[in-house]
Amino acid sequence: MNATPQTLLEVRDVETFYGSIQALRGISIEVRDGEIVTLIGSNGAGKSTTLRSINGLNHPRKGTITFLGKDITRRPAHEVVRLGISQSPEGRKLFPRMTVTENLEMGAYQRSDKAGLREDMERVFTLFPRLAERKSQKAGTMSGGEQQMCAIGRALMARPKLLMLDEPSMGLAPIFVERIFETIVEVNKQGTSILLVEQNALMALHVASRGYVLETGTVALADDAKALAQNEQVRKTYLGET
Mean pLDDT of the 129-134 span: 94
- Collapsing DSSP to helix, strand or coil, 142 comes out as coil
Rounded to whole angstroms, what are the CA distances from 41 to 35, 178, 224?
20, 21, 16
Report d(CA 238, CA 31) in Å as an integer: 22
The tens digit of pLDDT for each residue in 16-39 reads 999 999 999 999 999 999 999 999
Percent of the chain residues past pLDDT 70, beyond the cut: 97
H helices of 65-200, in order, are: 77-83, 100-106, 114-127, 129-133, 144-156, 174-189
Mean pLDDT of the 102-115 span: 86
Domains of the chain: 1-84+161-242 (3.40.50.300), 93-159 (no CATH)
The half-sphere exposure of 158 on its side-chain side, counting CA atoms within 13 A, is: 24
The tens digit of pLDDT for each residue in 40-53 reads 998 889 999 999 99
Report d(CA 77, CA 24) in Å as an integer: 19
Report d(CA 52, CA 192) in Å as an integer: 20
